Amino acid sequence: MSANDAFRITVLPGDGIGHEVMAPCIAVLEAAARRIGGFSLRFDEHQAGALAYRDTGVALPKSALDAARRADAILLGAMGWPEVRYPDGTEIGPQLDLRFELGLYAGVRPVRTLPNMPAVLADPRARQLDFVVIRESTEGLFASRGKGVVEEDREARDTMVITRKVCEPLFDFAFALARSRKARGAPGAVTCVDKANVFASLAFFRKIFDERAALNTDIRAEHAYVDATALYMVRRPWEFDVLVTENMFGDILSDLGAGLMGGMGFAPSADIGDENAVFQPCHGSAPDIFGQGKANPTAMILSGAMMLEWLGERHGREEAVRAGGIVREAVDAAYGAGLKPYEIGGGDGTGAVTDAVMQALARIG
């Protein structure tokens, strides 16, 4: 924090709808900070992403990375553009570089349904989901990014990496999160999601999970295979509390979680390490709706709320935690009053969603 009590936030809007959802998020966070008082936010915007790479040859300029490293927190819109690729055919993804560079091992992806969402599943219990997928975000199959090999157009290989150095703090983070949720009425359980029946790397993942579970006996520790977890997320998702899993599995399961919430525009996330954290929606740059005013900024706004709470907890600033809480309250109130973005078949665009959340925020007493 700077001397005048402003949290310094590096802003990376990125590509496509990343820009469209960032401005509403900043407006809502500033309004919440003014509302609660006692702290402020100083935003510092940098260009990075696939289109920056196309135009300049650099996806994540050193100046942006240095600013991100020094900031109190990082807000990111979305990065990537399907037509812009490296020579090996993979996409430009500086959001992944940031996770690796800053050691952001804990990808926190809450699955919490908002009021009045259309029923995705028939069971009424699916209308009130509240669980969290923690996606390990610095290794797993993604450790092979940029290092995969294709031999003579005949055979390709990518390698899974699981390390004790990352898994121990990852699992401790999962147990700590389950503990704080338990204090607010959640069941107090962590499920390790793996494929330990087939892969040595994931049997090792489970072994380290069991070691950390033995140090956190106030929290129930469970195991599930990833394929069965996909089934359970559809058949009985209301039974989950905290899930912790490998990078690629978490990538896939968190999109399934977004589907349970109504779509990508409802799914917030945080990538948290020991020193830094990036807050961004789970969604990408959505080229199919870019420029039409249809992007749902809810996930970005809720990611901003997670940022305020993380900053408040980290710096012992209760007012920032409260500001995060009222942002979430305002989002709930706006949806409770009938807000319906295009994404779920309504007619509310980016501006209408933002206005509804701002008005709800102004009414919170």
Ligand X SMILES: NC(=O)c1ccc[n+]([C@@H]2O[C@H](COP(=O)([O-])OP(=O)(O)OC[C@H]3O[C@@H](n4cnc5c(N)ncnc54)[C@H](O)[C@@H]3O)[C@@H](O)[C@H]2O)c1
**Interaction site with ligand X (CB under 6 A):** 17, 21, 78-82, 91, 95, 263-265, 280, 283-289, 295-296, 299, 343
Beta strands, E only, 164-219 = 189-194
Cβ at position 49, least distance to ligand X in Å: 8
- Tell me whether residue 13 or residue 103 sits nearer to ligand X (CB atom): 13
- Tell me whether residue 60 or residue 221 sits nearer to ligand X (CB atom): 60
Cβ at position 338, least distance to ligand X in Å: 18
Residue of minimal CB distance from ligand X? 284
- Tell me whether residue 188 or residue 284 sits nearer to ligand X (CB atom): 284
Please state, in angstroms and as integers, the Cα–Cα distance from residue 17 to each residue in 27, 49, 66, 111, 185, following that order.
16, 12, 24, 22, 36
Partners of 149 in beta bridges: 157
- Tell me whether residue 250 or residue 263 sits nearer to ligand X (CB atom): 263
User: Coil, helix or strand for 21?
Assistant: helix
Pull the structure tokens for residue 76: 């990111």
Buried b (16+ CB within 10 A) or exposed e, 281-310: bbbbbbeebbeeebbbbbbbbbbbbbbbbb
Cβ at position 265, least distance to ligand X in Å: 3
- Dihedral of alpha carbons 284, 287, 288, 294, sign: positive
Cβ at position 122, least distance to ligand X in Å: 23
Cβ at position 184, least distance to ligand X in Å: 28
For residue 330, the surrounding DSSP H or E stretch is: helix 318-336
**Nearest in space to 63 (alpha carbons), one of 49, 46, 80:** 46
- Tell me whether residue 112 or residue 206 sits nearer to ligand X (CB atom): 112
